[in-house]
Amino acid sequence: MAQADVLSAMPQQRIGRPADPCTMVIFGAAGDLTRRKLIPALYNLATNQLLSREFAVVGVARTQISEDEFRKRITNDIQQFASNGVDRDLWEWFLRRLHYVHGDFKDSNLYPRLKETLDKVDAEHSTHGNHLYYLATAADYFGPIVEQLAGVGLMHEGGEHWRRVIVEKPFGHDLESAKNLNQQLLKVADERQIYRIDHYLGKETVQNILAFRFANGIFEPIWNRRYIDHIQISVAETVGVESRGSYYDQAGALRDMVPNHIMQLISLTAMEPPVSFRADAVRDEQAKILHAIQPLSAEDVLSKTVRGQYGSGLINGERVPGYREEEGVPHDSKNETFVAMKLQIDNWRWADVPFYLRTGKRLPSRSTAVVIQFRRAPFVLFRDTPVENLMPNQLVMHIQPEEGISLRFAAKVPGPAMRLGAVDMNFEYADYFGSQPSTGYERLLHDCMIGDATLFQRADMVEAGWCVVSPVLDVWKALPPRNFPNYAAGTWGPRDAEDLLERDGRHWRDFEK
């Protein structure tokens, strides 16, 4: 079958417009992110006819291999990591669009060779001079790579072509470094060219928060301090640090999760309705929420934040080592693997509504969710009945591993006495809409190719997220923990995390039930 006919012959129905013609340049093409996520995501886009026929990939890595060897490795990888089966004709079409350049990312000699390769690829595949640079590298390379690209004219936009760069997290390791990186990038690129990616925003439920809130008239009127008691955001993982011990011990749970993933979930949950779904209209409202989070004083850090480190314990019935026993982790590490916080948003909608956050490794179940707990109904009507208390309604947006929404409410238990039981109404995406093979990167890559930055962070959003955690980092650095490890693997973190809510008469949602 001719290459030009492969995409149109695929049986899947196209949902959305195809991406613009472009060449995607992947720095770090020999790494795990490329083989596990990026190439499978691109293949899924091709399967759904969302890639342009005028498309190519140029992998850039330090490994000295030929282009044929690169294609062979990627072919082996796609057999292992594809979300679904691999169509032979489509893969052949895709494979012919794979190219490779080797070199050190900080070597200035790499970039003229890359430019020469891109000129050839543009001519061969008619990609119109549009380039998408994906920095799947260590954070130290972000600034130097973009500066070198600009130095040989590969960030310059002229005529009809565009140039965009996707920057992976971590975007800085504190407020000062995030500001410095922003300044470094913005010296050689415009803000509209920079796409700071957070793969959590590729998940359907995260994207659906806006649709759920603003497309359903029964929820938006009660989405405020009059009806909502508090909000919980949990990002729980059963895994430890795996092979990332040396990196993780420099980052920790706070840096790794809170300024990016969790701040994005807070902003989408709490933001005001945007004037439209244009990228900057949505991100303007997100930024307002992040700037409205009340800064924590040193005393607040001591009373409103909790840190923990896991020791050995049981996960799914199997004994697992403690954090200090993991490969690459010092035996006396003071690094946190668990964080819980209580935050307040200082605006009209959310005054006095606490936002409780927790994230950690080696917890009992893998679960990411936003829990909206509503205020209890008045007890007056039930005073002379056997009902002793009224359970609060909970709306839960499940983000992973299952993606869906559940609503918990009270209903009368059948029988002569007035007794109430909890009822959960559950909606899962796969049950209602079917499941699409997905790595979580498809939507984000497609959005970048069509120039939609809605799901990507702006510079001001990144810096606002770091402003929230900076006081915590400062206090924790000044007062190292004395009781690590303070929770066993397979438990829900240190006891102080439970106390954080119990002092307010509240409890964490139990996801194991």
By annotation, the residues acting in catalysis are: 261
Class of residue 221 by CB neighbours under 10 A (exposed 0-12, middle 13-18, buried 19+) = exposed
Alpha carbon 405 to its chain centroid, in Å, reads 18
Give kind and range of the element (H or E) at residue 277: none
Residue matched to tokens 């238990």: 413
CA distance 420 to 324: 47
CA distance 30 to 244: 17
50 with 157: CB under 8 angstroms?
no
431 with 204: CB under 8 angstroms?
no
Cβ contacts of residue 257 below 8 Å, gap of 6+? 235, 339, 359
Cβ contacts of residue 272 below 8 Å, gap of 6+? 285, 288, 349
Residue matched to tokens 């130095």: 151
- Exposure string of 450-468, with b = 16+ CB inside 10 Å and e = fewer, is eebbbbbbbbbbbbbbbbb
CA distance 429 to 401: 12
413 with 228: CB under 8 angstroms?
no
Residue 97: strand, helix, or coil: coil
Encoded tokens for 506? 């509240």
Q: Among the residues of 16-66, which ranges form H helices?
A: 32-33, 39-47
